[in-house]
Structures are given as structure tokens and as C-alpha cells.
Amino acid sequence: MESLFINIGNLCREKVVELTEVLNLPEAFAGYFMVLIYAIAILTFVLLNAIVLVYLERKIAAYLQQRLGPNRVGPRGILQSLADVVKLLGKEDIIPRAADKWIFRLAAVLVIVPTVMVYAVIPFGKDMIAVDLNIGIFYFIAISSTATIALLMAGWGSNNKYSLLGSMRVVAQMVSYEIPLVFSMLGVIMIAGSLQMSDIVAAQKDMWFIVFQPVAFLIFIIAATAELNRGPFDLPEGEQEIIAGPFTEYSGMRYALFFTAEYANLISTSAIAATLFLGGPSGPWLPSWMWFLIKVYAMILFFMWIRWTIPRIRIDHLMKLNWKFLVPLSLVNIFVTGVALKLFSGW
């Protein structure tokens, strides 16, 4: 069980090498094919989980609000998401006449690119990282910082004042909350002494970093919620004020892409939280990838719980919370971590 996926990977590699030999291609092509296979595996993981999460979110929201939630399609409404996917696929692709057409079209595609790219460095299990970059966590930060551009393009390209307002909010919120998010990761990186994911996981062999860095974990959770544009920080799409923000003009499959990206980001951020603070894919008895899934889903459920419990915050409070509370707090956390590290490791 432990090395189930690794064995599948090795089997694929053998077959690919055989194939390149049969086709008389240069050896390097086997590597390219393997990259393609990894990419397909990651995409499958993302899409499957996104479908599950949509159902999960609706059910949890319903239970928290004492409703039943989806309960008509299949037993306990379990096929609801599938029905929705089919519906969205069949919908007409509407592009407003006044829209900046190329930007409008591109935005829906580009939003999914950084979202999927960050999965390259996520340790799904023991020895199960697609690319174990030596700058792993920094790669995650860098790639996810470009997600704002796609949302801004969507808001601008729609040529709709609510969309533009929403995308302005996206930029203001995501750029500001990136700072405490990165600073909170810094405490962990300082203790692990490495940016590489496998090193960070290995450093938590004896004790999870949530024990050493509880404040950083708290800051990470708050900042990540804001980065994900989820409640109570879902101002960019605050329905009562600006309809659906940047997504207002989108319908059908393009809207579905934004929706998928949102849930894919939720999974990857939860995976990063699990890796940095909850010991990554390590744990007793069960195989490592199963532990990783359990931890990731625990984080996702936590994010959902927050979203449906706390009402939306006001925009000036949002900025105040970041600049006057989270940023100073995260700086203090870095300072304390540095001093403590020096004290315990000796001068």
C-alpha cells in the first residue's frame, strides 16, 4: 500500500522507456513523456477533488445552516456535482459585446495555470513529489503570486463596473495578504533551514512545526483564507455589493474554470499548510499518501467551517487587520523565532 503510487509511476516509466526504444526516439524524450504523465496525474487529482469539494462545501454549508443541502440527484445528492458539470459543459459560451474579447477569453484559461503549476512541489506522500525543487516553498509563493493577474484580466476584460471593482479588490486584498502569508512561512523555513519540501517534511520527524510556530500557523490560516478569497474575506465577490466580482459576466465552462481554480487553490493551500505545519505526509500505521490526504482534508474542512461560521468583514477592516495586526505580528514572530533558534542552538 505504501508505495502503491510509486509502483504505478515506475511501471509507467518502464513502459515509456520501452516505447521510446521502439519508436527510436532520443533518450531525453522518455523524460518529457514522464513530465506529461505527472502533469496528467496532477490534473486528474485536482479535477476529481474539485468535484468532491463542491459537493462537500454545499453539504457542510447546509448542515451549518440547518438545511439539507443537495439531496435529489443520487443517494444523499452525491451525484449533484456531476450533474452540475454536465450542465456547465452544455451551456452557451456568452461573451459580452463590449468586452475586451481576447483578455476576457484568456483570463478564464490563465486562471487555471498557476493553480495547477504549484502542485509540482507538493509532497503527496513519501518520495511522491513531482519535482523536489531546492527552492520548493519559494516556487509556490512565486507562482501563486501571479494568480492575481488572471483575476484582474477577468475583471478588466468583462468591461463591467462590478467586475472591475471586484478585481480591484482582488489585487488590493491578495497583494496585501501575501506579505503576512510569506512571513508566517519564514518562521518554519528558519527552523527547517531549507526551502526544499522534502527537507521541511524531514525536519518535522520528531515534532510538527505547529507546536513550535503556533502564531505563524494562525497568521498563515488567516492570510491564506484571504488569499483564497474565501469567507470571511470573500469581498472580491461579495454578492450583496458587487454581484460576483470578476466572475459576473462569465457563464458556462469559463465560469466552471474559475470555480475549479478556486477549489484547486483551496486544496493546494491546505496541502502547503499540512506540509509546513502538520508534518506533511508522515504518520504511523497508514501509508504516507493516505496520511497526507487526511491532513489536507482536515485543513479543508477547517477552512469550510470558518467560511460558513464567520460573516463577511468590511473592506477597511480587512486592510486594517492586515497592515496593523498581521504584518507586525508576523515580523515579531520572525524575530522571536530567530532569537530562540540562536538560544537553543548556542551562539
Partner 1 sequence: MSGMASPVIFWVLAVVTVGAGLAVALTRNIVHSALFLVLTFIGTAGFFMLLEADFLAAVQILIYAGGVSVLLVFGVMLTRHGNIKLSNPLNRYKITGGIVAALLLLLTGGLILYSEWEVSPEALREQESTVSAIAVSMLSEYVIPFEAAALLLLVALIGAVLLAKGVKHSK
Alpha-carbon gap, residue 147 to 119, rounded angstroms: 14
Stretch of 132-140, 234-242, 268-276, 308-316 lying at the interface with partner 1 (CB under 8 A): 132-140
Q: Decide: is 252 part of the binding site for partner 1 (CB under 8 A).
A: no
Is the link from the previous residue into 232 a cis peptide, with omega within 30 of 0?
yes
Does 113 interact with partner 1 (rule: CB under 8 A)? no
Closest-CA residue to 6 (of 119, 132, 128, 124):
128
Selected binder of partner 1 within 26, 90, 284, 346 (CB under 8 A): 26
Rg (CA), the chain: 21
| Binding residue (CB under 8 A) for partner 1 from 5, 38, 138, 302 | 138
Least distance from C-beta 344 to partner 1, angstroms?
Answer: 21
> Ramachandran region of residue 346, left (φ > 0), alpha (ψ -120 to 50) or beta?
left
The CA–CA distances, whole Å, from 301 to 186, 187, 270, 306 equal: 25, 25, 10, 9
Backbone torsions φ then ψ of 79, nearest 5 degrees: -95, 5
Q: Name which position in 30, 116, 118, 152 contacts partner 1 (CB under 8 A).
A: 152
Size of the site for partner 1 (CB under 8 A): 28
- The contact pattern for partner 1, residues 171-210, with x = CB under 8 A and - = no contact, is xx--x--x----------------xx--------------
156 binds partner 1 (CB under 8 A): yes
Nearer to partner 1, 10 or 146 (CB): 146
CB of 119 to partner 1, least distance (A): 16
- Which are the contacts of 262, defined by CB distance < 8 A and separation ≥ 6? 228, 229
**Applying CB under 8 A, which of residues 37, 39, 41, 149 lies at the interface with partner 1?**
149
Q: How far, in Å, are 155, 231, 330 from residue 318 at the CA level? A: 21, 12, 16
The three-point CA angle 85-306-287 to 5° equals 70
For 298-329, give the DSSP string.
Answer: HHHHHHHHHHHHSPPPPHHHHHHIIIIIIHHH
Q: Which is nearer to partner 1, 82 or 98 (CB)?
A: 98
* N residues, the chain: 347
- Most distant CA pair in the chain, distance: 67
Annotate each residue in 73-112 with x if it binds partner 1 (CB under 8 A) or - if it does not, as one string.
---------------------------x--x---------
Q: State yes or no: residue 315 binds partner 1 (CB under 8 A).
A: no
* Closer by beta carbon to partner 1, 151 or else 278: 151
Nearer Cβ to partner 1 (31/96) = 31
Q: Does 142 bind partner 1 (CB under 8 A)?
A: yes
Q: Which residue in 259, 291, 274 sits closest to 201, CA to CA? A: 274
- Using CB under 8 A as the criterion, which residues of the chain lie in contact with partner 1 when the complex forms? 26, 28, 31, 100, 103, 133-135, 138-139, 141-143, 145-146, 148-149, 152-153, 156, 164, 168, 171-172, 175, 178, 195-196
